[in-house]
A and B are shown apart, each in its own frame.
Chain A
Amino acid sequence: MTDTTNIKSARDVKRQMRRRMLADFWFYFSENRGAVIGLWVFVILVVVAVLAPLFAPHGPTEQFRDALLTPPVWQEGGEWKFLLGTDAVGRDMLSRLIYGARFSLFIGVVVVTLAVTGGVSVGLITGYFRGVLDTVIMRIMDIILAFPSLLLALVMVAILGPGLLNAMIAIAIVLQPQFVRLTRASVMNELGKDYVTSARVAGASPFYQMTRTILPNCLGPVTVQATLSFSNAILDAAALGFLGMGAQPPTPEWGTMLAEAREFILRAWWVVTFPGLAILITVLAINLMGDGLRDALDPKMKRS
């Protein structure tokens, strides 16, 4: 019963508990090989992006006039100075890709933050209050969802004007309805629970109930969706960049790099392929990670 050897201080219990929860989470996450690989790739990406000046051999906008369209090092005509070749104005591909990672991550973070903050707040309010407000907002969300996301983003950017910031805002608006729906569904599910009733009866204001009682329980699916939206954001920004509506040249954003390289597909495959590969690998890694995250967080898949 009360074993004196086991009385621990509250701090020890806290630490032990956190360790156990982390270990539990890792157990389920690491079962998914793809997810773990995705995680490592993502971590490498973040490190490379943050320490870009250390990793990149040259500056991203540094032009080498005497080395235009140099092929990658393993092809004939390639040089060690430019490992992945150069583009039409003599900028080193590798350096541009490395700095481009910064942009992609930045885009992902900003877009997801905007979409999550907006989407979850709206979802909380509509899910909690229901009624006419709910109906109106959900119909607006339905309208947004009915449009192909890229098309809608394009229209918004066309209205706001091309540029990376506007592109990010447009993409955030387009991605928001998913979060609204998810949060609203979670909230409606939570409202029936006894602990929410308890809080209400204990005198909690609607704001308190929404933020402190209900919100923490909705975060699981939102986290997973956020991870997937991260990759969507990168893809959409790249697409907008490709169409000339996103980041403007000479920004080394991967999509913009693709746009500039369109005419060189046959002549200089490396100018097109590497940015494309970079986008592919990043998005794939994040999606794999998101999959693993969902499986790890889903209580039904738990085994203990």
Chain B
Amino acid sequence: MLLNIQNLSVEFQTAGGMFRAVDGVDIQCERGEILSIVGESGSGKSVSMLAMMGLLPWTAKITADHMFFQDHDLLSMNKSAHRKIIGRDMAMIFQEPMSSLNPCFTVGFQIAEVLRLHFGMGRKERRKRSIELLDQVGIPAPETRLAAFPHQLSGGMSQRVMIAMALAGDPKLLIADEPTTALDVTIQAQILELLTGLQREKNMALILITHDMGVVAETAERVQVQYAGQKVEEQHVMELFNTPHHPYTAALLAALPERAEGRHLPSIPGVVPGQFDRPPACLFAPRCTRKKDDCDRAVVRQDANLGHALCNYPIRGGAT
């Protein structure tokens, strides 16, 4: 298994105490697989990946039973060994391409930086490879773009440059954190096509973090649903959309405007629990239509044929 994370928890020191942003989440990914982590704000989907990449601030406390990437134990690694993997075998692209690139340096410089740090390439080699990479991500006339500054590029172009930088290390795993949310829908289509094409070509694992169920439906193979920092369901994409087992997943799908029947959308009452109003057992219980009294005392995780749902009364079979 390429990536094996078990029982990952991330807590942040805040003015009001410790806040648990990620609560006992498992993430597994095989080589060449497309896993999508989907959830709304507060689900901890980005934080889990940032924790793995070591990109969280010092106020974060990260604990896990297991955090293995290709036989490397990420938890016990020292910083320099960790740095050899990050950006090379494991790469990440972010949501806001306009602000993810350093505005003070040219595009060429930033791509070359990855090549210099991880491969120690000489200048000529770096230039050649940079042009190759820009070409791979579909940027026309790449030689001319090397000298461009990020503010001279559009959102779609910047995201392509980010992807090129991520690919520079020839990664086995690419994590894309809401890569198309800030982009127009026609550009989004182009970027998703690019990502899936590259993924196929290089047999790269792709973890796609998103809140857009449409993107999930069209891109993912396996889907993991997160809510309030916990993993609440995991299934293959077809099964997830046809037979969701966790009430949250079902409610989320029902709230999609395209599944609406009539003027009213079935919305989920209430809000995601924050730092101060966490329910005692099942975090979704206060908003769940299927809740019973024991949901406030303990919650069980179902097994694979019920989508690993974190629910005492999962939805079995067809629609609710």
Contacts and interface: CB of A to CB of B under 8 A. Distances in A.
Query: Direct contact between A and B in the complex (CB less than 8 angstroms)?
Result: yes
B134 to A, nearest CB: 34
B99 to A, nearest CB: 14
A27 interface: yes
A24 B275 CA distance: 15
Interface in B1-53: 12-16, 19
A302 B16 CA distance: 12
Contacts of A302: 15
A274 interface: no
B286 A303 contact: no
A1 interface: yes
Contacts of B59: 303
A23 to B, nearest CB: 8
A23 B15 CA distance: 9
A93 to B, nearest CB: 45
Contacts of A28: 15
Contacts of B14: 303-304
B270 interface: yes
B16 A304 contact: yes
Given A1-B269, A1-B270, A304 B15 contact: yes
Interface residues of B, number: 11
Interface string A110-140: 0000000000000000000000000000000
Contacts of B12: 303
Specify the main secondary structure of chain B where it touches its partner.
Answer: loop
Nearest to A20: B16
Contacts of A23: 15
A304 B275 contact: yes
Nearest to A24: B15
Interface string A293-304: 000000000111
Pick the most buried of B15, B59, B269, B270: most chain A CB atoms within 10 A of its CB.
B15
A303 B13 contact: yes
Interface string A258-274: 00000000000000000
A303 B270 contact: no
A296 to B, nearest CB: 10
B283 to A, nearest CB: 15
A141 to B, nearest CB: 29
Interface string A2-26: 0000000000000000000001100
Pick the most buried of A23, A28, A302, A304: most chain B CB atoms within 10 A of its CB.
A304
A27 B15 contact: yes
Contacts of A27: 15
A304 B19 CA distance: 8
Nearest to A25: B15
A303 B15 contact: yes
A23 B17 CA distance: 12
A304 B14 CA distance: 5
B18 to A, nearest CB: 11
Nearest to A26: B15
Contacts of A304: 14-16, 19, 275
Interface in A47-70: none
Nearest to A6: B277
A303 B56 CA distance: 12
Nearest to B269: A1
A181 B143 CA distance: 44
A28 B59 CA distance: 14
A27 B59 CA distance: 15
Interface in A17-42: 23-24, 27-28
A304 B12 CA distance: 8
A1 B13 CA distance: 28
Contacts of B13: 303
A302 B19 CA distance: 14
A16 to B, nearest CB: 12
Interface string B268-285: 011000010000000000
A60 to B, nearest CB: 45
A72 to B, nearest CB: 46
B234 to A, nearest CB: 29
A28 B15 CA distance: 8
Contact of A1 (B16, B19, B275, B286): B286
Contacts of A1: 269-270, 286
Contacts of B15: 23-24, 27-28, 302-304
A188 B249 CA distance: 45
Contacts of B286: 1
Nearest to A304: B14
A28 B269 CA distance: 35
Contacts of A24: 15-16
Nearest to B275: A304
A304 B18 CA distance: 10
Nearest to A28: B15
A23 B14 CA distance: 12
A27 B15 CA distance: 6
Interface of A: 1, 23-24, 27-28, 302-304
Of all A-B residue pairs in the complex, the 10 with the closest CB atoms, nearest first, are A304-B14, A27-B15, A304-B15, A24-B15, A303-B14, A1-B270, A1-B269, A303-B59, A304-B16, A303-B15
12 contacts: A1-B269, A1-B270, A1-B286, A23-B15, A24-B15, A28-B15, A303-B13, A303-B15, A303-B59, A304-B14, A304-B15, A304-B275
Interface of B: 12-16, 19, 59, 269-270, 275, 286
Given A24-B15, A304-B19, 17 more contacts: A1-B269, A1-B270, A1-B286, A23-B15, A24-B16, A27-B15, A28-B15, A302-B15, A303-B12, A303-B13, A303-B14, A303-B15, A303-B59, A304-B14, A304-B15, A304-B16, A304-B275
